[in-house]
Amino acid sequence: MCLYLCLSCHSIGTLAFSFHSRRMRQDMFFLLLTLLVTPSENLALWGKATQSDLVDNPYNGWSHASNAIDGNSDSDFYHGSCTHTDSQTNPWWRVDLLDTYIVTSVTITNRGDCCHTNINGAEVHHKNVKFFKLKYYCDSGVISSIPAGRSLTLSWNKGIEGRYVAVVLPKTSTLVLCEVEVYGYLAPTGKDK
Ligand SMILES: [Ca+2]
């Protein structure tokens, strides 16, 4: 009897252990699957945006720098989700990601209702310093053009380290951005580099 009970206990324990292990393996499998299939987080959504200038009335209420990181890619300026500077020399827009990241791609959505060629020639910069000088970057990507209302993604296989991502237009024009998405991962610290 005792032997029977002991064997039963052992069997139950073995079964419980097997179930526990199988459950752990399933959990690990789904965790890995989630990591593999879940798209990277848009880092810009948690950032702080600013721009060189805010267009004058009557449109300035719709044109704030934060409109490019509001998670809304609506490309009709009059729907209130795009940025807009005045026409000026070298207008720029910048997002502070609030930490240093290895940026692997940036997606920019262009204005769709008007003036979509204004963005032609815009440069995308990454830097760890807040203030920058035009042409002092060696890691920029250049936007030749983006069709009206469409998005363009610039990618860097190895990633580029930076806390700030800026879009600079090296000409005299308005700069209008309907959405800027930034993807990447947290840069290694000095301890784990
Ligand atoms: Ca937007």
Distance in angstroms (rounded) separating the CA atoms of residues 157 and 38: 18
Distance in angstroms (rounded) separating the CA atoms of residues 162 and 97: 9
In a domain, 192, yes or no: no
Are 1 and 48 found together in one domain? no
**In terms of pTM, does the model score above 0.85?**
no
The pLDDT tens digits along the chain (193 residues) read 333 333 333 443 444 444 456 665 665 554 444 444 445 799 999 999 999 999 988 887 889 999 999 999 999 999 999 999 999 999 999 999 999 999 999 999 999 999 999 999 999 988 776 665 555 454 578 999 999 999 999 999 989 899 999 999 999 999 999 999 999 999 987 555 5
Let me know: does 87 contact 73? Beta carbons within 8 Å. Answer: no
Between the CA of 67 and the centroid of ligand 1 the distance, in Å, is: 5
Let me know: does 45 contact 71? Beta carbons within 8 Å. Answer: yes
Q: What angle do CA 151, 164, 86 make, to 5 degrees?
A: 65
Are 66 and 117 found together in one domain? yes
Are 66 and 130 found together in one domain? yes
Are 47 and 31 found together in one domain? no
Are 18 and 86 found together in one domain? no
Total of domains in the chain: 2
Between the CA of 179 and the centroid of ligand 1 the distance, in Å, is: 4
Are 54 and 5 found together in one domain? no
Are 32 and 112 found together in one domain? no
Are 12 and 25 found together in one domain? yes
Between the CA of 93 and the centroid of ligand 1 the distance, in Å, is: 13
Between the CA of 151 and the centroid of ligand 1 the distance, in Å, is: 12
CB atoms near residue 83 (< 10 Å): 29
Are 162 and 115 found together in one domain? yes
In a domain, 135, yes or no: yes
Between the CA of 31 and the centroid of ligand 1 the distance, in Å, is: 31
Between the CA of 43 and the centroid of ligand 1 the distance, in Å, is: 14
Let me know: does 54 contact 93? Beta carbons within 8 Å. Answer: no
Q: Which CATH number do you get for residue 133? A: 2.60.120.260
3-state helix, strand, coil in the chain (%, to 5): 30, 30, 40
Are 51 and 137 found together in one domain? yes
Between the CA of 109 and the centroid of ligand 1 the distance, in Å, is: 8
Please list, in sequence order, all residues whose beta carbon lies within 8 angstroms of the beta carbon of residue 159, skipping any fewer than 6 positions away.
102, 103, 104, 184, 185
Domain containing residue 30: 1-38
